[in-house]
Structure 1
């Protein structure tokens, strides 16, 4: 093992001591916790990669996929009690076939007994199946007999409606106060235009739903409908980003910065912000994923002149007035440039002072790195001799990372870089450890494994206490 060296970094006036050492071949400590299997029936129980716990940490919500890529074939969302293992139905699509509607990626509000998930449009068939431009955010109120409601309005016919979208939302995530919802987005109008105009591409973006609704549309159809919230796109992409510039051709894997935003270098607070990955083009033309941030401390219902929130027949929806994305990382000159590793939505400390993402170190090992939302040098957080092979989650107190490697769960102390294996030896065959969620209070870890049985291999829900 290489000699250990320590450095002290200061972010926003708060000192954070991070150990920096060379890769070790095994974790420094082993701290085995008790594992409990909550589900066992022969079907999928697929957790979202975040916000799977109810506000009181008593329930875990999941969809019934048994394949990550098969949201289009799934029809139901359920939840399981963390203490008793009781399972309850949250939502079941009333009609379904091989083309839709498509249901999944369920997330709990941190403040209310409400669950939001992807739901495909109502007019699904062979010609118009479930797809990235043909889905919406459906919410279920668990305190009102599981009453469903559409969150984002949709209007695909000009003149378009401010506050309504023209495409599909996905990967919904509540802000810390539960009032806003972030999402990734693909625009149906531009996707259709791209079939006849080679200069147009269906580019992914990110957006937010804010509590300024409801939004009504002129004519309710299966393709256009109202929603309870006001939706806007807050990122900006281009089909042809200039090499070496901060322009991007894709915005994705967003995450809220802090529970209540972050503090700027001048001491003022940004109440809400989203960090996300943006695909840039390096000077040599190489595609490099970098970390970006967009501050949302302005009136998101207002547009710039000539840049309508609702877009036009030839342009995607524009961000609100005063909202501009800002680049935080510049990694094109590293040995292994760009964010790399397992699919990972951007995470941050609860106080918003650090934003975390996976990237390869100089030895080619995928580690967790961090950067301040104010921009500064990138810090390496983990120093393992192995590449994490799942997404990671951050504890409620901001002290620990949880992630998986070789079907085991590991914790890393963010301040000391000490890594511990915490999952016990298994007396069952399993694969596909993923979707690690930390409970709101920080005392329970939940995750999926695909357990192999004589009836087949099925995603089950496990917890570590």
Structure 2
């Protein structure tokens, strides 16, 4: 185990794609915690020399954070950018933020925003966040909150999952001083409603998404969606209780598919959230309403993660004793497979090793590897040390190292360990 950073400040990793493609640098922001948004720089540190480089510094009282790296070279970074020159009417919030791409020192806006009706297809009407590149480095997934509906009634501003596709640019009319252009065509791929029918597959919230497989998955013989996203969706039980379940959406395979509207306008209306492209239908994978502890857990916060081969999607649920365990679900559905069985539960976000042979997470305050077949646990960090953050346990692309955050000297520092794989 090695401590990589030592500065008297906090260091924040994102929950995936925190390494450069050459496995030499860890990329981070400097927020004091994952829930805050007051960092002003995006930086990286070399895990061998410990050299720290500032990649971007936010201007005009804005803030930045939640950076991920494109898994394919050349090095490209995407992260959240808050509003420049914030004021009482327009400041950082879920529906007032955007994605930006940094490549070769040049910053480009990812998603356009148009909040003046009639809205622009391919543009959003609010804030995107937690941007994650697809395994082939072409698309970016994100979660989303809507300014237009938030202004009408915050209860209508339902979190959704969207995708940015490189078939822009998108340039709104600029009828509001806070509107902006974007390099990518952006749409929502989830469907939500503020009033899900109890016991149905309808959801009020879509979040914590993950790409399915490095090259998609096989749905039926001869049917192989090249890109798909899994995510958590909040259903209602027949008793009206919120139950988070696992969902999947197969995505278009052409530019024309991304631009073809379905039953409702891609860009939304004053009364409706932006809508899915034609043919994009969310499919429910888990049905846990009757379990003793129904639903996927939201604490610890985790993002659903597919194995590289797309055989399994990993998520966290409680067992019948109320202990948070790691479960594996096929992208075809069926009964979830419980992988861990310990009396001490999983305490963090999860990620697959690039080989697909194991997963990494925090258990009993230690970073561990979990064999994807047997569930056998191998600790990588010692017990009894200072607190380990549950926000991120991230493997290097070459699979040789794993990184996490841990308190040292009163600050959240970055640590790594060799995986032995």
Whether TM exceeds 0.5 here: the answer is: yes
Secondary structure of the corresponding residue to residue 56 of structure 1 = coil
1:410 deviates by 1.2
Determine if the alignment matches structure 1 residue 228 to structure 2 residue 176. no
Mapping for residues 339-358 of structure 1, pairs under 5 Å: 339-340=296-297, 341-358=299-316
Alpha-carbon offset, residue 430 of structure 1: 4.2
Residues in 2 aligned to 1:110 and 1:220: alpha-carbon distance in whole angstroms = 37
Q: Deviations over 1:196-241 (max 9, x none)?
A: xxxx521000000011111111127652111111000000100100
Map 1:9-28 onto structure 2 (within 5 A).
none
Q: Say which SS state the counterpart of residue 164 (structure 1) adopts.
A: coil
> Which string of whole-angstrom CA distances, capped at 9 and with x for unpartnered residues, describes residues 350-376 of structure 1?
011211100001111110001111111
Distance 1:334 1:44, change over 3 A: same
| Selected match of 1:395 from 337, 350, 353 | 353
- Over 3 Å counting, the alpha-carbon distance change for 1:152 and 1:239 in structure 2 is same
Matched, 1:89 2:54: yes
- Take 2:371 and 2:203, find their aligned partners in 1: how far apart are those partners? 33
Q: SS at the partner of 2:65?
A: strand
Which of 70, 77, 85 is the equivalent residue of 1:109?
70
Tell whether the 8 Å contact from 2:366 to 2:388 is kept in structure 1 after alignment. Answer: no
Query: Is the CA contact (8 Å cut-off) linking 2:386 and 2:406 kept in structure 1?
Result: no
* Aligned match for 1:204, one of 147, 159, 162: 159
Distance 1:121 1:155 in 2: 15
Q: 2:291 aligns to what?
A: 334
- Match 1:127 to one of 86, 89, 95: 89
The reply to whether residue 151 of structure 1 matches residue 110 of structure 2 is: yes
In the superposition, relative to structure 1, how do residues 260 and 282 fare at CA in structure 2: closer, same or farther (>3 Å)?
Answer: same
Aligned residues: 413
SS at match of 2:259: coil
1:433 Cα shift?
5.0
| Gaps in structure 2 of 5+ consecutive residues | none
Aligned-partner SS, 2:178: coil
Structure 1 residue ranges, 4+ long, deviating more than 6 angstroms after superposition: none
Residue 16 of structure 1: aligned partner: none
Equivalence map 1:255-266=2 (5 Å) = 255-266=210-221
Q: Is the 8 A contact 1:138 1:149 kept in 2?
A: yes
- Secondary structure at 1:269's aligned position in 2? coil
Map 1:14-413 to 2 at 5 A.
35-71=1-37, 73-96=38-61, 101-112=62-73, 113-141=75-103, 144=104, 146-194=105-153, 201-219=156-174, 222-298=177-253, 299-305=257-263, 307-340=264-297, 341-413=299-371
For the 8 Å contact 1:213–1:229, the answer to whether it is kept is yes
CA contact (8 A) 2:34 2:391 kept: no
Q: Unmatched 5+ residue regions in structure 1?
A: 1-34
Inter-CA distance 393–431: structure 2 relative to 1 (3 Å threshold): closer
Match of 1:461 in 2: 414
TM-score if structure 2 supplies the norm length? Answer: 0.95
The offset of 1:407, in angstroms, is 2.2
String of CA shifts for 1:135-167, please: whole Å, max 9, x gaps.
0001111xx2x1111011111111110000001
Q: Give the SS at the match of 1:300.
A: helix
Q: How far, CA to CA, are the matches of 2:139 and 2:72 in structure 1? A: 11
Counterparts of 1:218 and 1:49, CA distance in 2: 35
Q: In structure 1, what is the Cα distance between the partners aligned to 2:43 and 2:133?
A: 19
TM-score normalized by the length of structure 1: 0.86
Alignment match, 1:6: none
Q: Which residue of 1 is the match for residue 402 of structure 2?
A: 445
Considering only CA atoms, is the larger Rg found in Structure 1 or Structure 2? Answer: 1
Distance 2:270 2:391 in 1: 40
Separation in structure 2 between the aligned mates of residue 254 and residue 94 of structure 1, nearest angstrom:
30
The answer to which structure, 1 or 2, has the higher relative contact order (CA under 8 A, 6+ apart) is 1
Deviation at 1:280, TM superposition (A): 0.1
Q: Is the 8 A contact 2:300 2:390 kept in 1?
A: no
SS of the aligned residue for 1:190 comes to helix
Summarize deviations over 1:394-441 as a string: whole Å, max 9, x none: 100111111112321111101122112221367x64453541101111
CA offsets 1:110-159 (integer angstroms, 9 cap, x no match): 01301111011224123322000000001111xx2x11110111111111
Instruction: Give the alignment's Cα RMSD to 1 decimal.
Output: 1.4
